[in-house]
Every structure is written in structure tokens, then in C-alpha cells.
Amino acid sequence: MAESQLETDIPSLQLLIRSWLRERLDGEIFSWITSTSDELNAGAEDWQFFASFSGVPQHTGKEALDLSPDDLKEARQRRDRWQPGHWTLDQLGRTYLVLSITGRAQEDFLDILEKTFVSSDMGEAIALYQSLPVLPYPKQLTKRAAEGIRSNMTSVFNAVALRNPFPADFMDEGAWNQVVLKALFVESPLYLIDGIDRRANEKLARMLVDYAHERWAADRSVSPELWRPVGPFAEGEMIADLERVLHHEDNLQQQAAVLALSDSPSEEATAVLEEHRETVQQVKQAAVGWDDIGAQFNDN
């Protein structure tokens, strides 16, 4: 989504978030956060933003938002593929306050935002990284998003990588590939990465296969989700790797191999599927998709 689209949608986003907060906060707390937002919109001092941003959980608590299907539909109408369904009240409140300073000059806004990132604790960092897709100047925020990907705190990494359209929309191929690789490394679910299919690429496929070989050489298991971005680019030795997975004793691994081979344009892949018609038929009858495999694997 273009910068201009995000900027013009911010007032609508503020109204939507305000309505969600009104439904979930008692009168005094709602009055506090809305009056604070109004002061920030009017150009309050930077320290007022830092103090109020930090103090949000003390006012709102940290309950789950529990958004309805209609709420989530409205969210997507304001920002394509925005997924705040797993957010908490304090995260929503903090995002509301960040949106309250977006009317400032670009340099001033980005400066305040970066200072907030630098000084943030884990909870604040999670809220900030989750808010990236609804903030203006996304191209200026890609380096900050990359910092989140490099975080040694899995919860912070997940705030950028999972249920977040920002990486798929704005990160270059190299940075995107690191998102997927690190998700496997820290055992975060690939099916929750927005754009996992759209951003699949040949270089990533080869990197993932190399990673699988390293795991096998160390006698370690390989996530069945690894093969999802590999399938569309599978050929040659990759087909042999997938045939190996097809012979795995675990059903999820077999299902992943069938889906990946089915995604491959290679005639070799078609031949392997023909040789294993019974397994292929079982997967088709079960109507299993990549998200099903990811959910089941990560729930175990």
C-alpha cells in the first residue's frame, strides 16, 4: 500500500480505534486516552507523548481485544490485510497515541517514533512493531522493521513477522527471506506470515533447502512448513528432497510433500506424484491446505 493511501486513511483509522476503545474502557479511562490524543494532535510536547505512551497499560489494562468478525472486516477496509485480532487493549491504546502524532512534519514524527523504539521495553516494542502497517512513511520505516526482525526476543520478532502485512509490502527480497528463515529458526509458524506465498522466490527456496539439508545432517527434524515456499521453484535435486519427505512416517510431512510437489511446475514432480497416487489421493480427500498443516504442526 502506498504512503499516500496510509496517510489519507489515518483519520478513519483513528475513528475506528476510538470506537473500539469506547466499547471496552470505562468512562474515566476512555476520557483520559481521548483527551491525551487530542492534546497530542494539537502539538503537545514530546515528553507528554513519551510519558503517556509508556503509561497506557496502567490505565487500560492488558485484556485481549476480542474483536468481532465485523470489527476485523472494518479493519481490513481501512488497511488492506491489517490483522489486529490478536492485539490487547494496551497495544491498541498505544497505537492510538502514535497515530495522534502522525500529523506532525515527517522528520519530527519519524524522530519521535525512533526515540520511542530505542527506549522501549518489550511490551512497548511489540506494540510499536505491530503498528507499522498503519503508520505513514513506510519506506522510511523498513530499516526499523529490519531491527525488529533481528531482535533476540522472539515475541518482538513475531510482532513484525506474524499477522503483519508490513514485511511483505515493503521489505526487499533479501530482508524478506531473512524473515522466513528466522521464523523457522525460532520455530515461529510460517502460516501466520502475511504474504508467505506471494513473496516466495527462487533464492529463498534454495536457502530453505540448504537449511533442510543442514538439519538432516545433524539428525534434526525439519518443519513441514519449510516446503511451502519451495514448491513453486522445486526442480532437480529439490524433487528428490521432496520425495524423501514423501516417505516420512509423519502424515503432516507427507501432506507437505504432496502440496509442494503439486505446486512445482517440474515434470519430475508430476512423475513422483504419479508414483505415489495413494498418498496423493489421501491428501486430496482430506482437503488439506498449507494453513491446515501449519496450524496442526504448531499446535502439537
pLDDT number for residue 300: 75
What is the reported pTM? 0.94
pLDDT tens-digit readout, 32-75: 999 999 999 999 999 999 999 999 999 999 999 999 999 999 99
Neighbours of 206 (CB within 10 A): 14
Nearest to 47 by CA among 33, 59, 57, 36: 36
Residue 299 has pLDDT above 70, yes or no: yes
27 contact partners, CB below 8 Å, separation of at least 6 = none
Distance between CA atoms of residues 111 and 83, nearest Å: 26
Neighbours of 3 (CB within 10 A): 15
pLDDT tens-digit readout, 228-274: 999 999 999 999 999 999 999 999 999 999 999 999 999 999 999 99
pLDDT number for residue 9: 83
Residue 1 has pLDDT above 80, yes or no: no
Residue 168 has pLDDT above 70, yes or no: yes
pLDDT tens-digit readout, 69-99: 999 999 999 999 999 999 999 999 999 999 9
pLDDT number for residue 159: 99
Provide mean pLDDT across the span 128-140: 97
Residue 2 has pLDDT above 70, yes or no: no
Nearest to 268 by CA among 296, 290, 251, 243: 243
CA dihedral 224, 226, 232, 236 (to 10 degrees): -90
Q: What percent of the chain has pLDDT over 90?
A: 96
C-alpha cell read off for 160: 513484525
In the block, cell 496450524 appears at 295
pLDDT number for residue 155: 98
pLDDT tens-digit readout, 183-196: 999 999 999 999 99
**Contact present, 69 and 10 (Cβ < 8 Å):** no
Neighbours of 69 (CB within 10 A): 8
pLDDT number for residue 8: 47
Residue 275 pLDDT level (bands cut at 50, 70, 90): very high
| Type of residue at 154 | T
Identify any residues that bridge with 64 across adjacent strands, giving them in sequence order.
Answer: 88
Neighbours of 275 (CB within 10 A): 12
Distance between CA atoms of residues 54 and 51, nearest Å: 5
Distance between CA atoms of residues 157 and 49, nearest Å: 25
Q: What percent of the chain has pLDDT over 70?
A: 97
Residue 276 has pLDDT above 80, yes or no: yes
Average pLDDT, the chain: 96
CA 69 from centre of chain: 19
pLDDT number for residue 234: 98
Specify the range with the lowest mean pLDDT, choosing from 16-20, 55-59, 276-280. Answer: 276-280
C-alpha cell read off for 294: 501449519
Distance between CA atoms of residues 72 and 85, nearest Å: 7
Provide mean pLDDT across the span 281-291: 94
